[in-house]
């Protein structure tokens, strides 16, 4: 399932170059990822009840076009692939002209919250990667 959120670039997200600071794109993607989890029925408390957490272990991001103050951006999230204990979500950020601003693949791992060790993906999560 592909999901998307929309945001408007705020003054606090702009750097000295007059465009969105590179670190803010990661925040936008995190917000979209959280929305994806919620919309597929896996909010934080559901993972906690399973004694499972998700940990980001790698982000490969491409900055394609600058975003500026006041622009409306759409950030999408979709499942790409899964392994035994890890999974990949793809993010795309597009502007109002449908131009690709940034894209990334985020690799996350599922861990046992008490042991803090990797565990296999729960079926509730794995089923979203067909």
Pairwise CA distance, residues 54 & 19, whole Å: 31
Catalytic residue at 15? yes
Q: In sequence order, what are the residues at sequence separation of 6 or more whose Cβ sits closer than 8 angstroms to the Cβ of residue 102? A: 25, 61, 62, 63, 64, 65, 91, 92, 93
Q: Taking the chain, what is the end-to-end CA distance rounded to the nearest angstrom?
A: 10
Q: What is the CA radius of gyration of the chain?
A: 16
| 3-class DSSP assignment, residue 91 | strand
Annotated catalytic residue within 15, 35, 45, 112 = 15
Q: Which residues are identified as catalytic?
A: 15
């Amino acid at each position: 399932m592909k999901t998307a959120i929309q945001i408007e670039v705020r003054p606090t997200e702009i750097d000295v170059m007059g465009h969105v600071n590179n670190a803010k794109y990661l925040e936008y993607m995190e917000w979209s990822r959280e929305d994806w989890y919620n919309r597929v029925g896996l909010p934080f408390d559901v993972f906690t009840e399973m004694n499972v957490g998700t940990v980001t272990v790698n982000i490969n991001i491409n900055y394609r076009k600058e975003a500026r103050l006041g622009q409306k951006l759409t950030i999408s999230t979709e499942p790409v692939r899964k392994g035994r204990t890890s999974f990949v979500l793809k993010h795309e950020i597009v502007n109002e002209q449908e131009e690709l601003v940034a894209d990334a693949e985020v690799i996350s791992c599922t861990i046992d919250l008490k042991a803090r060790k990797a565990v296999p993906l729960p079926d509730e999560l794995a089923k979203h990667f067909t």
